[in-house]
Protein backbone atom coordinates (compact mmCIF):
# COMPACT_ATOMS: atom_id res chain seq x y z
CA UNK A 1 0.00 0.00 0.00
CA UNK A 2 2.85 2.38 0.79
CA UNK A 3 4.32 1.82 -2.66
CA UNK A 4 0.95 2.50 -4.27
CA UNK A 5 0.54 5.75 -2.32
CA UNK A 6 3.96 7.03 -3.40
CA UNK A 7 3.22 6.26 -7.03
CA UNK A 8 -0.10 8.00 -6.89
CA UNK A 9 1.51 11.02 -5.24
CA UNK A 10 4.17 11.16 -7.97
CA UNK A 11 1.56 11.05 -10.73
CA UNK A 12 -0.40 13.71 -8.93
CA UNK A 13 2.64 15.99 -8.81
CA UNK A 14 3.28 15.55 -12.54
CA UNK A 15 -0.36 16.12 -13.37
CA UNK A 16 -0.41 19.25 -11.20
CA UNK A 17 2.70 20.72 -12.84
CA UNK A 18 1.22 20.51 -16.34
CA UNK A 19 -1.73 22.82 -15.56
CA UNK A 20 0.65 25.23 -13.84
CA UNK A 21 2.83 25.39 -16.96
CA UNK A 22 -0.25 25.91 -19.13
CA UNK A 23 -1.42 28.64 -16.79
CA UNK A 24 1.93 30.47 -17.11
CA UNK A 25 1.85 30.20 -20.91
CA UNK A 26 -1.76 31.37 -21.05
CA UNK A 27 -0.87 34.33 -18.86
CA UNK A 28 2.01 35.26 -21.18
CA UNK A 29 -0.15 34.87 -24.29
CA UNK A 30 -2.83 37.06 -22.79
CA UNK A 31 -0.40 39.75 -21.67
CA UNK A 32 -0.60 42.75 -24.06
CA UNK A 33 2.69 44.17 -22.78
CA UNK A 34 4.78 41.08 -23.46
CA UNK A 35 6.34 42.67 -26.56
CA UNK A 36 6.63 46.20 -25.17
CA UNK A 37 8.47 45.33 -21.97
CA UNK A 38 12.16 44.54 -21.84
CA UNK A 39 13.26 46.81 -24.70
CA UNK A 40 16.31 47.89 -22.70
CA UNK A 41 17.21 44.24 -22.07
CA UNK A 42 16.85 43.50 -25.78
CA UNK A 43 19.15 46.42 -26.61
CA UNK A 44 21.70 45.08 -24.10
CA UNK A 45 21.54 41.67 -25.79
CA UNK A 46 22.18 43.26 -29.20
CA UNK A 47 25.10 45.31 -27.84
CA UNK A 48 26.58 42.17 -26.27
CA UNK A 49 26.30 40.42 -29.62
CA UNK A 50 27.97 43.29 -31.47
CA UNK A 51 30.81 43.37 -28.91
CA UNK A 52 31.57 39.69 -29.49
CA UNK A 53 31.17 39.76 -33.28
CA UNK A 54 33.13 42.97 -33.83
CA UNK A 55 35.65 42.68 -30.99
CA UNK A 56 38.47 43.11 -33.50
CA UNK A 57 37.09 46.55 -34.38
CA UNK A 58 37.27 47.87 -30.82
CA UNK A 59 40.18 50.34 -30.98
CA UNK A 60 43.33 49.94 -28.95
CA UNK A 61 44.11 53.64 -29.11
CA UNK A 62 42.31 54.27 -25.83
CA UNK A 63 43.87 52.19 -23.08
CA UNK A 64 44.24 49.12 -25.33
CA UNK A 65 40.53 48.55 -24.79
CA UNK A 66 40.35 46.09 -27.69
CA UNK A 67 43.02 43.81 -26.25
CA UNK A 68 41.46 44.00 -22.79
CA UNK A 69 38.09 42.91 -24.23
CA UNK A 70 39.70 40.08 -26.18
CA UNK A 71 41.62 38.83 -23.14
CA UNK A 72 38.39 38.16 -21.28
CA UNK A 73 36.16 37.55 -24.32
CA UNK A 74 34.85 34.13 -23.15
CA UNK A 75 33.57 35.72 -19.94
CA UNK A 76 31.11 37.85 -21.88
CA UNK A 77 29.01 34.70 -21.99
CA UNK A 78 28.05 35.12 -18.31
CA UNK A 79 25.81 38.03 -19.32
CA UNK A 80 23.57 35.68 -21.31
CA UNK A 81 22.07 33.80 -18.30
CA UNK A 82 21.94 37.08 -16.38
CA UNK A 83 19.89 38.75 -19.12
CA UNK A 84 17.80 35.60 -19.43
CA UNK A 85 16.84 35.74 -15.76
CA UNK A 86 15.91 39.42 -16.09
CA UNK A 87 13.90 38.74 -19.26
CA UNK A 88 11.92 36.03 -17.50
CA UNK A 89 11.40 38.28 -14.50
CA UNK A 90 10.11 41.04 -16.79
CA UNK A 91 8.06 38.55 -18.83
CA UNK A 92 9.48 40.03 -22.01
CA UNK A 93 9.22 38.04 -25.23
CA UNK A 94 11.21 40.73 -27.03
CA UNK A 95 14.19 40.29 -24.69
CA UNK A 96 14.01 36.50 -24.86
CA UNK A 97 14.13 36.51 -28.66
CA UNK A 98 16.96 39.05 -28.71
CA UNK A 99 18.95 36.84 -26.33
CA UNK A 100 19.18 34.18 -29.01
CA UNK A 101 21.72 36.41 -30.79
CA UNK A 102 24.51 36.51 -28.12
CA UNK A 103 23.82 32.89 -27.17
CA UNK A 104 24.36 31.67 -30.74
CA UNK A 105 27.44 33.85 -31.26
CA UNK A 106 29.07 32.72 -28.00
CA UNK A 107 28.44 29.07 -28.82
CA UNK A 108 29.89 29.61 -32.28
CA UNK A 109 33.04 31.15 -30.81
CA UNK A 110 33.60 28.96 -27.79
CA UNK A 111 31.24 26.00 -27.95
CA UNK A 112 33.97 23.85 -29.48
CA UNK A 113 36.12 24.36 -26.40
CA UNK A 114 33.48 22.73 -24.22
CA UNK A 115 34.07 19.30 -25.77
CA UNK A 116 37.00 17.02 -25.06
CA UNK A 117 39.18 16.85 -28.18
CA UNK A 118 42.07 14.96 -26.59
CA UNK A 119 43.19 11.59 -27.91
CA UNK A 120 45.57 8.85 -26.86
CA UNK A 121 49.13 8.51 -28.08
CA UNK A 122 51.67 11.13 -29.03
CA UNK A 123 55.42 11.17 -29.62
CA UNK A 124 56.44 14.00 -27.32
CA UNK A 125 55.05 15.43 -24.07
CA UNK A 126 55.91 19.03 -23.21
CA UNK A 127 55.08 21.24 -20.23
CA UNK A 128 55.55 24.86 -19.28
CA UNK A 129 55.23 26.75 -16.01
CA UNK A 130 55.73 30.28 -14.78
CA UNK A 131 57.13 29.30 -11.41
CA UNK A 132 56.89 32.80 -9.86
CA UNK A 133 60.11 34.50 -8.76
CA UNK A 134 58.88 34.56 -5.14
CA UNK A 135 57.86 30.89 -5.06
CA UNK A 136 58.34 29.67 -1.46
CA UNK A 137 58.88 26.04 -2.53
CA UNK A 138 60.88 25.91 -5.77
CA UNK A 139 62.00 22.32 -5.19
CA UNK A 140 58.44 21.08 -4.68
CA UNK A 141 57.25 23.05 -7.70
CA UNK A 142 59.92 21.52 -9.92
CA UNK A 143 59.09 18.00 -8.78
CA UNK A 144 55.37 18.51 -9.40
CA UNK A 145 56.01 19.63 -12.97
CA UNK A 146 58.41 16.73 -13.57
CA UNK A 147 55.75 14.34 -12.25
CA UNK A 148 53.66 15.19 -15.32
CA UNK A 149 55.89 12.84 -17.30
CA UNK A 150 56.88 15.60 -19.73
CA UNK A 151 59.87 14.91 -21.96
CA UNK A 152 60.58 18.63 -22.26
CA UNK A 153 59.88 21.24 -19.56
CA UNK A 154 60.10 25.02 -19.84
CA UNK A 155 60.23 27.23 -16.76
CA UNK A 156 59.77 30.98 -16.67
CA UNK A 157 60.44 33.69 -14.09
CA UNK A 158 63.50 31.93 -12.72
CA UNK A 159 65.20 33.91 -9.98
CA UNK A 160 68.98 33.74 -10.35
CA UNK A 161 69.68 32.46 -6.84
CA UNK A 162 66.96 29.81 -7.18
CA UNK A 163 68.23 28.33 -10.45
CA UNK A 164 70.53 25.82 -8.64
CA UNK A 165 67.51 24.58 -6.67
CA UNK A 166 65.54 23.88 -9.84
CA UNK A 167 68.58 22.28 -11.48
CA UNK A 168 69.09 19.93 -8.55
CA UNK A 169 65.40 19.01 -8.32
CA UNK A 170 65.19 18.18 -12.02
CA UNK A 171 68.60 16.59 -12.51
CA UNK A 172 67.45 13.00 -12.03
CA UNK A 173 64.68 13.31 -14.62
CA UNK A 174 66.26 15.52 -17.26
CA UNK A 175 69.76 14.90 -18.53
CA UNK A 176 69.94 18.07 -20.61
CA UNK A 177 69.09 21.63 -19.69
CA UNK A 178 70.00 25.24 -20.25
CA UNK A 179 69.03 28.51 -18.58
CA UNK A 180 69.09 31.84 -20.38
CA UNK A 181 68.32 34.83 -18.20
CA UNK A 182 65.04 34.16 -16.41
CA UNK A 183 63.86 31.26 -18.62
CA UNK A 184 65.09 27.69 -18.80
CA UNK A 185 64.57 24.47 -20.72
CA UNK A 186 64.96 20.91 -19.41
CA UNK A 187 64.92 17.90 -21.74
CA UNK A 188 65.27 14.12 -21.67
CA UNK A 189 66.71 14.36 -25.18
CA UNK A 190 69.85 16.10 -26.46
CA UNK A 191 69.73 19.86 -26.94
CA UNK A 192 71.82 21.86 -29.41
CA UNK A 193 72.07 25.34 -30.91
CA UNK A 194 70.72 26.78 -27.68
CA UNK A 195 70.72 30.57 -27.57
CA UNK A 196 68.83 33.57 -26.21
CA UNK A 197 66.15 35.24 -28.32
CA UNK A 198 66.02 39.03 -28.30
CA UNK A 199 62.47 40.22 -27.60
CA UNK A 200 63.39 43.86 -26.89
CA UNK A 201 63.38 43.61 -23.14
CA UNK A 202 66.87 44.74 -22.22
CA UNK A 203 67.48 41.39 -20.51
CA UNK A 204 66.93 37.80 -21.56
CA UNK A 205 63.39 36.43 -21.21
CA UNK A 206 63.29 34.17 -24.25
CA UNK A 207 65.41 31.37 -25.70
CA UNK A 208 65.39 28.62 -28.31
CA UNK A 209 66.99 25.19 -28.58
CA UNK A 210 66.94 22.31 -31.02
CA UNK A 211 65.79 19.16 -29.24
CA UNK A 212 66.69 15.89 -30.99
CA UNK A 213 63.94 13.39 -30.18
CA UNK A 214 63.68 9.76 -31.38
CA UNK A 215 61.19 11.07 -33.96
CA UNK A 216 63.32 13.92 -35.29
CA UNK A 217 64.38 17.45 -34.45
CA UNK A 218 62.11 20.13 -33.09
CA UNK A 219 62.93 23.76 -32.35
CA UNK A 220 61.65 24.60 -28.88
CA UNK A 221 61.15 28.25 -27.94
CA UNK A 222 60.65 29.42 -24.36
CA UNK A 223 59.32 32.92 -23.81
CA UNK A 224 58.07 35.12 -21.01
CA UNK A 225 56.57 38.24 -22.53
CA UNK A 226 56.33 41.43 -20.45
CA UNK A 227 53.50 41.73 -17.97
CA UNK A 228 50.44 43.84 -18.63
CA UNK A 229 48.55 45.99 -16.16
CA UNK A 230 45.05 47.39 -15.95
CA UNK A 231 45.19 50.96 -14.59
CA UNK A 232 42.33 53.39 -14.08
CA UNK A 233 44.29 56.26 -15.58
CA UNK A 234 45.91 54.35 -18.44
CA UNK A 235 43.68 51.37 -19.22
CA UNK A 236 45.29 48.13 -20.37
CA UNK A 237 49.01 48.95 -20.53
CA UNK A 238 50.55 46.40 -22.87
CA UNK A 239 52.79 48.26 -25.32
CA UNK A 240 56.01 46.58 -24.20
CA UNK A 241 54.31 43.16 -24.34
CA UNK A 242 53.06 43.90 -27.84
CA UNK A 243 56.52 44.92 -29.08
CA UNK A 244 58.07 41.79 -27.61
CA UNK A 245 55.39 39.63 -29.24
CA UNK A 246 56.24 41.14 -32.63
CA UNK A 247 59.93 40.37 -32.13
CA UNK A 248 59.17 36.81 -31.00
CA UNK A 249 56.98 36.32 -34.05
CA UNK A 250 59.81 37.43 -36.32
CA UNK A 251 62.22 34.98 -34.68
CA UNK A 252 59.81 32.08 -35.10
CA UNK A 253 59.08 33.03 -38.72
CA UNK A 254 62.82 32.94 -39.45
CA UNK A 255 63.30 29.51 -37.78
CA UNK A 256 65.04 27.00 -40.06
CA UNK A 257 63.83 23.85 -38.28
CA UNK A 258 60.48 22.77 -39.73
CA UNK A 259 58.91 21.59 -36.47
CA UNK A 260 58.48 24.33 -33.84
CA UNK A 261 57.01 24.33 -30.33
CA UNK A 262 56.56 27.52 -28.30
CA UNK A 263 56.30 27.19 -24.52
CA UNK A 264 55.80 30.06 -22.15
CA UNK A 265 53.90 32.80 -20.43
CA UNK A 266 52.77 35.16 -23.19
CA UNK A 267 50.74 37.37 -20.86
CA UNK A 268 47.95 37.26 -23.43
CA UNK A 269 45.31 34.94 -24.84
CA UNK A 270 44.85 33.51 -28.32
CA UNK A 271 42.06 36.05 -28.89
CA UNK A 272 44.31 39.05 -28.27
CA UNK A 273 45.06 40.72 -31.61
CA UNK A 274 48.33 42.11 -30.24
CA UNK A 275 49.81 38.59 -30.30
CA UNK A 276 48.98 38.10 -33.99
CA UNK A 277 52.66 38.00 -34.94
CA UNK A 278 52.84 34.70 -33.04
CA UNK A 279 49.31 33.32 -33.15
CA UNK A 280 48.90 33.82 -36.89
CA UNK A 281 51.60 31.25 -37.64
CA UNK A 282 51.09 28.74 -34.82
CA UNK A 283 48.29 26.59 -33.36
CA UNK A 284 47.24 26.44 -29.74
CA UNK A 285 47.31 22.88 -28.39
CA UNK A 286 44.42 23.74 -26.07
CA UNK A 287 42.19 24.87 -28.92
CA UNK A 288 43.12 21.90 -31.11
CA UNK A 289 43.29 19.06 -28.58
CA UNK A 290 42.21 20.30 -25.17
CA UNK A 291 39.23 19.85 -22.90
CA UNK A 292 37.63 23.15 -21.85
CA UNK A 293 39.22 26.58 -21.77
CA UNK A 294 42.37 25.53 -19.89
CA UNK A 295 42.59 28.79 -17.95
CA UNK A 296 45.95 29.07 -16.21
CA UNK A 297 45.94 32.40 -14.35
CA UNK A 298 45.52 33.32 -11.58
CA UNK A 299 46.00 29.91 -9.99
CA UNK A 300 43.60 30.69 -7.13
CA UNK A 301 40.73 31.38 -9.58
CA UNK A 302 41.83 30.92 -13.20
CA UNK A 303 40.21 33.47 -15.52
CA UNK A 304 42.45 33.51 -18.59
CA UNK A 305 44.84 31.25 -20.45
CA UNK A 306 47.89 33.46 -20.70
CA UNK A 307 50.31 30.49 -20.49
CA UNK A 308 50.54 28.85 -23.89
CA UNK A 309 51.79 25.80 -25.73
CA UNK A 310 51.75 26.54 -29.45
CA UNK A 311 52.99 24.45 -32.36
CA UNK A 312 53.62 24.38 -36.06
CA UNK A 313 54.82 21.42 -38.09
CA UNK A 314 53.62 18.98 -35.41
CA UNK A 315 50.12 17.75 -34.56
CA UNK A 316 48.57 18.32 -31.11
CA UNK A 317 47.11 15.17 -29.57
CA UNK A 318 46.04 16.36 -26.13
CA UNK A 319 46.42 19.38 -23.87
CA UNK A 320 45.67 19.81 -20.17
CA UNK A 321 46.28 21.87 -17.05
CA UNK A 322 48.48 20.40 -14.34
CA UNK A 323 47.78 20.55 -10.57
CA UNK A 324 48.58 23.80 -8.80
CA UNK A 325 52.00 24.50 -7.32
CA UNK A 326 53.09 27.38 -5.08
CA UNK A 327 53.11 29.68 -8.09
CA UNK A 328 50.38 32.16 -9.06
CA UNK A 329 50.14 30.36 -12.44
CA UNK A 330 49.03 26.82 -13.18
CA UNK A 331 51.43 24.63 -15.16
CA UNK A 332 50.14 23.29 -18.49
CA UNK A 333 51.15 20.31 -20.62
CA UNK A 334 50.49 18.83 -24.05
CA UNK A 335 51.30 15.79 -26.17
CA UNK A 336 52.10 16.07 -29.86
CA UNK A 337 52.89 13.75 -32.73
CA UNK A 338 55.95 14.55 -34.77
Spell out the SS3 assignment of 301-315. CCCECCEEEEEECCE
Distance, in Å, from the CA atom of 174 to the CA atom of 152, rounded to the nearest integer, reads 8
Distance of CA 280 to the CA centre of its chain: 16
Percent of the chain with pLDDT over 70: 88
Phi–psi pair at 187, nearest 5 degrees? -145, 145
Question: pTM, whole model, 2 decimals?
Answer: 0.85
Residue 94's H or E segment, with its range, is helix 93-98
Tell me the per-residue pLDDT of 30-59, one tens digit each, with 9 for 90 and over: 677 788 889 999 999 999 999 999 998 998
* Half-sphere exposure in the Cβ direction for 177 (13 Å, CA): 22
Who has greater pLDDT, 17 or 12?
17
CA-angle at 246, arms to 194 and 225, nearest 5°: 65
Closest to 241 (Cα-Cα) out of 123, 92, 67, 122: 67
Q: Which domains does the chain have, with CATH numbers?
A: 31-114 (no CATH), 124-337 (3.60.10.10)
Tell me the per-residue pLDDT of 221-247, one tens digit each, with 9 for 90 and over: 999 999 876 655 444 557 888 999 999
Mean pLDDT check: name the lowest of 62-76, 148-162, 163-177, 220-234: 220-234
Q: What is the DSSP string of 30-51?
A: T-TTTTTTTHHHHHHHHHHHHH
CB 198 within 8 A of CB 208: no
Closest to 132 (Cα-Cα) out of 166, 153, 158: 158
303 C-beta neighbours (distance < 10 Å), count = 15
Residues facing residue 320 across a β-bridge: 333
Tell me the per-residue pLDDT of 189-215, one tens digit each, with 9 for 90 and over: 999 999 999 998 889 999 999 999 999
Residue 11's H or E segment, with its range, is helix 2-29
Distance, in Å, from the CA atom of 186 to the CA atom of 220, rounded to the nearest integer, reads 11
7 C-beta neighbours (distance < 10 Å), count = 10
Distance of CA 143 to the CA centre of its chain: 24
Q: What is the DSSP string of 167-196?
A: HHHHTTT-SEEEEETTEEEEESS-EEEEEE
CB 129 within 8 A of CB 325: yes
The model's confidence at residue 63, banded by pLDDT at 50, 70 and 90, is confident
Residue 102's H or E segment, with its range, is helix 100-110
CB 52 within 8 A of CB 46: no
Amino acid sequence: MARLDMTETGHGGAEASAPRARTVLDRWRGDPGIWRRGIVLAVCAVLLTLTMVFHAEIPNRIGNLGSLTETFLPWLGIFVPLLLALALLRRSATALIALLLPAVVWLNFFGGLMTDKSAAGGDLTVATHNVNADNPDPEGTARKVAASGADVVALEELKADMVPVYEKALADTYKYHDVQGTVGLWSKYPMSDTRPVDIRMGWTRAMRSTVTTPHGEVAVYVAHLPSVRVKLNAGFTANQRDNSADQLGEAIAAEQVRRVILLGDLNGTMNDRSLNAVTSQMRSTQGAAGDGFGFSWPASFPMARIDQIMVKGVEPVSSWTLPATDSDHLPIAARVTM
